A = this chain, B = another copy of it.
Amino acid sequence: MVKQTQTMTTSEWEIMRVIWTLGEATSRQVIRVMAKKTDWSPSTIKTLITRLQAKGYLTDNGAIRDRLYLPTVAEHEAMTATLSRTFHAMCAMCVGQALVDVLATTPLSKHDITHLQDTLQTKYAQAPDRIACDCMPHQQEEIAHHDK
């Protein structure tokens, strides 16, 4: 089983969120924080930290004990990477509509909304009238999809 690009699992992602927020953290700190949200054992958290290091998402300050773990990727980078992958895996033709639905229930600040509006407005001029379905190799099959 040849695994392509390493990705963070959902559990690993939760650990990263804590470390991203703190900037750097010891395993003890992560364990302390996670204890409030989950019932994971300290061992589980240490395992996840080790795996995150193996995957290259964390480094450490080299201390033998009370070691500090640091992210090698910014949270923001990781988020856009994940979202891009997610969108790319989906039917290009349907992404827009799905986004409409999801945005409706996603909490966004006025600031976020303004930025999104700016982005959309900028895109509008160059935007095509329709995006082709890319679910199947052939172009004409996209029509079938459309007719669904």
Contact = CB atoms under 8 A, between A and B. Distances in A.
Contact of A148 (B20, B100, B148): B20
Given A13-B89, A79-B90, A137-B33, A113 B124 contact: yes
Interface residues of A, number: 67
A109 to B, nearest CB: 5
Interface in A92-142: 92, 94-113, 115-117, 119-121, 123-124, 127-131, 133, 135-137, 141-142
Given A96-B111, A123-B108, A127-B109, A17 B135 contact: yes
A141 B99 contact: no
Given A80-B98, A82-B86, A105-B84, A37 B113 contact: no
A56 interface: no
A32 to B, nearest CB: 10
Contact of A99 (B20, B83, B96, B98): B83
Instruction: Count copies of this chain in the complex.
Output: 2
Given A23-B144, A82-B86, A84-B105, A112 B96 contact: yes
A41 interface: no
Interface of A: 10, 13-14, 17-18, 20-23, 33, 36-37, 75-76, 79-80, 82-84, 86-87, 89-92, 94-113, 115-117, 119-121, 123-124, 127-131, 133, 135-137, 141-142, 144-145, 148
